Structure 1
Amino acid sequence: MGQYPTRSTASGAVVVRPDGRLNMVAAPALRKQLHALIDGGNTRVVVDLSGTEFIDSSGLGALISGLKVARQAGGDLRIAAPTRQVVTVLELTNLNRVLRTHESPDVAFDDPS
């Protein structure tokens, strides 16, 4: 699995958009890409989950790993537009308390949370 598409928001955050299944096959690529973006100086990252139809513990691990690295670099990682399945998994694992969802990637860094 290669890199996921990225773009920048008006506020300067980098958006990564994984699609399909974010599982043990795809999660290592996302983790590597998030770490590379943050190591490259992009400390405000949004993961757009609007195209992610499925996430498992490996996918959650990639998001948490990215969050940890971003915060250690003085930034943050936020998620946006999760699908219903992703929201359900976040709620079941209580990770919705750590990874708060935002309506869209473009507004993820507009609020003070």
Structure 2
Amino acid sequence: MDVSVSRRANGDVPVVSVSGEVDVYSAPALKDSLTGLLKSGVSSVVVDLTEVAFLDSTGLGALVEARAATTEAGGSLALVCSQERILKLFTITGLDGVFAIHATVDDAVASISS
């Protein structure tokens, strides 16, 4: 299964929706989408992972890079994820303490907007 990355706005906050499998082959598409968005002047973004079936270390790396870029730009990156197996990956790697992970897009947008 390939990855699909789409963008939309929720108020002033861009939301990047990801679906499918994010692995060594598809992670560059996610990274390119986030990099392009951040280069366009956006400093904060929500990444919606609710439709992601699989996420490997390459995908995590793309998210970590995007978080570093948003922090450097004075913004933030919030994740949306409710799937136990993906949440477990963040816990095992310790990244649950690095990322703000929310159950819904609205919660994530509210955390950035406040």
1 or 2, which has the higher strand percentage?
Answer: 2
Question: Residue 5 of structure 1 aligns to which amino acid in structure 2?
Answer: S
SS of the equivalent of 2:18 reads coil
Which residue of structure 1 aligns with residue 74 of structure 2? 74
Once the two structures are superposed, residues 12-31 of structure 1 have per-residue CA deviations (whole angstroms, 9 ceiling, x without a partner) of 11111111111111111111
User: Could you list the runs of 5+ residues in structure 2 that have no partner in the other structure?
Assistant: none
Q: How does 1:40-51 map to 2 (within 5 A)?
A: 40-51=40-51
Aligned residues: 112
SS of the equivalent of 1:5 reads strand
Q: What stretches of structure 1 move > 2 A for 4+ residues in a row?
A: none
The TM-score normalised by the length of structure 1 is 0.90
Which residue of structure 1 aligns with residue 8 of structure 2? 7
* TM-superposed deviation, 1:35: 0.9
1 or 2, which has the higher helix percentage?
Answer: 2
Q: Contact 1:52 / 1:82 at 8 angstroms: preserved in 2? A: no
Q: How does 1:89-108 map to 2 (within 5 A)?
A: 89-108=89-108
The TM-score normalised by the length of structure 2 is 0.89
The CA RMSD measured in Å over matched residues stands at 1.8
SS of the equivalent of 1:108 reads helix
Q: How does 1:55-66 map to 2 (within 5 A)?
A: 55-66=55-66
Q: 1:39 to 1:94 in 2, by over 3 A?
A: same
Aligned equivalents of 1:19 and 1:52: distance in 2? 5
* TM-superposed deviation, 1:88: 0.8
Aligned equivalents of 1:7 and 1:67: distance in 2? 19
